[in-house]
Amino acid sequence: GVARKPIKSWAAYERELTERLGIDNRLIMAIRTKAKQDPKRIVFAEANSFRILKAVQFVIREGIAKPILLGNKEKIQELIKENQLDLENVPIIDLYKSVSDEKRHHFAKILYEKRKRKGMTYNEAVEKMYNRDYYGSMMVETGEADAFISGFSRKYSSTIRPTLQVIGVKKDFNHIAGMYMLLTKHGPLFLADTTVNMNPSAQTLADTTQLTAAEVRKFNIEPRIALLSYSNFGAYKGEGSPIRVKEAVQLLHEQDPDLIVDGEMQANYALNGKLRYSRYPFNKLGDMDANTLIFPNLSSGNITYKILQALGPYEAIGPILMGMKKPIHILQRDSTVREIINMTAIAVIDAQASSTLED
């Protein structure tokens, strides 16, 4: 007889359905809801892909973002027509046909000023403006868009290089890092750095931890951070990653004493708070399980998240790029439509935070 009950509030009914979906889907819905509160202009570099366009249709319908498409206009319109997508009023920028010489040279001059002392000529800067990653990044740099998403069909390293040259990194950190969010039955687990820094120094590990903590808080979650290694709290006396991790923890305790962070520690102690507290009751996490893991190097971080993603019933969101001056995000190659939608929502939240800081 449930179907006979009138629905007095569709918003309340939607929330009720969301509650039944589980922890992971509730977090995704919370992220999307936050994005809807102030949708931003998001540039998609690879709009001549069906999956990108399918995600963009959903994003528009749900009011998550205001997309701008980069790519071959004829091909994009053909894909829209073939798949009966509702993208009638979405702006499309064809770098070869719809960009004026004046706009191209305006962007090129800005890039040239940034890179002329690093070997780039003006003619090279003009040529770069035919590249979607350079042009899309420049739209964000000049305020014509709020965030940029790329990487669907190209290598991470080749995609990120243009964005670094145009946007650059935050001056307080001088490096970037990548974070994945794994949605587990126990709640979200944040992993960093999984994409960028090969063998980070103690200072880079400390900076990555600060960047990650700030990112986790954007999702209204208080980070409980463990810096990982193969030893616990100074047990290893030699050289290598345990020493660097230990030094990073010391820096963090000095620079941000209120941050819930400790290490170095093994992964099982990070994820089992009661076990950790029984052996090391002095640790700053107490008996709480860590929800944020900082890895000692790129190999360990990248391998771990891929194993967890492959073996567990976990959904991975990321990589979430941290440390850029303005919102730039690089998709996994061949991301699913759902992954593109989620990354779009995260890009919007990133842009919301950036605009708040500017205000």
| Residue range 5-20, pLDDT digits in tens | 788 887 777 666 555 5
Q: What percent of the chain has pLDDT over 70?
A: 95
Kindly report, residue by residue over 166-208, the tens digit of the pLDDT. 999 998 888 899 999 999 888 899 999 999 999 999 999 999 9
The structure tokens 């990112």 sit at 215
Point out which residues pair with 188 in neighbouring strands: 183
User: Which range is least confidently modeled, 27-31, 68-72, 191-195, 295-299?
Assistant: 27-31
User: Which range is least confidently modeled, 126-130, 249-253, 309-313?
Assistant: 309-313
Q: How far apart are CA 33 and CA 161, in angstroms?
A: 32
Give, for 284, the enclosing helix (H) or strand (E).
Answer: none
Provide the pLDDT for residue 240. 77
38-168+325-358 has which fold? Rossmann fold (3.40.50)
pLDDT, averaged across the chain: 92
316, exposed or middle or buried, with CB in 10 Å at 0-12, 13-18, 19+?
buried
Q: Is the pLDDT of residue 117 over 90?
A: yes
User: Which range is least confidently modeled, 24-28, 49-53, 61-65, 131-135?
Assistant: 24-28
Q: Is the pLDDT of residue 333 over 90?
A: no
Provide the pLDDT for residue 342. 95
Kindly report, residue by residue over 84-111, the tens digit of the pLDDT. 999 999 999 999 999 999 999 999 999 9
Provide the pLDDT for residue 22. 52
Model pTM?
0.87
Q: How far apart are CA 47 and CA 69, in angstroms?
A: 5
Confidence category of residue 78, pLDDT binned at 50, 70, 90: very high
Confidence category of residue 1, pLDDT binned at 50, 70, 90: low
Q: Name the residue with higher pLDDT: 333 or 229.
A: 229
Mean pLDDT of 108-129: 97
Which one, of 250, 165, 262, lies nearest residue 223 by Cα? 262
Mean pLDDT of 39-67: 97
Give, for 283, the enclosing helix (H) or strand (E).
Answer: none
Region of 220 please: left (phi>0), alpha (psi -120 to 50) or beta. Answer: left
Q: How far apart are CA 215 and CA 166, in angstroms?
A: 22
Domains 38-168+325-358 and 177-311 share a fold: yes
Cis ω for the linkage preceding 319 (within 30 of 0): yes
Provide the pLDDT for residue 348. 97
Q: Is the pLDDT of residue 49 over 70?
A: yes
What are the C-alpha distances in Å from 317 to residues 3, 58, 199, 224?
A: 35, 17, 24, 19
Phi, psi values for residue 41, rounded to 5°? -80, 115
Mean pLDDT of 306-329: 90
The domain ranges of the chain are 38-168+325-358, 177-311
Domain 177-311 sits in CATH at: 3.40.50.10750
Token digits of residue 32? 């999307």
Provide the pLDDT for residue 14. 66
In sign, the C-alpha dihedral spanning 37, 43, 47, 52 is negative
Q: Is the pLDDT of residue 298 over 80?
A: yes
Confidence category of residue 35, pLDDT binned at 50, 70, 90: very high
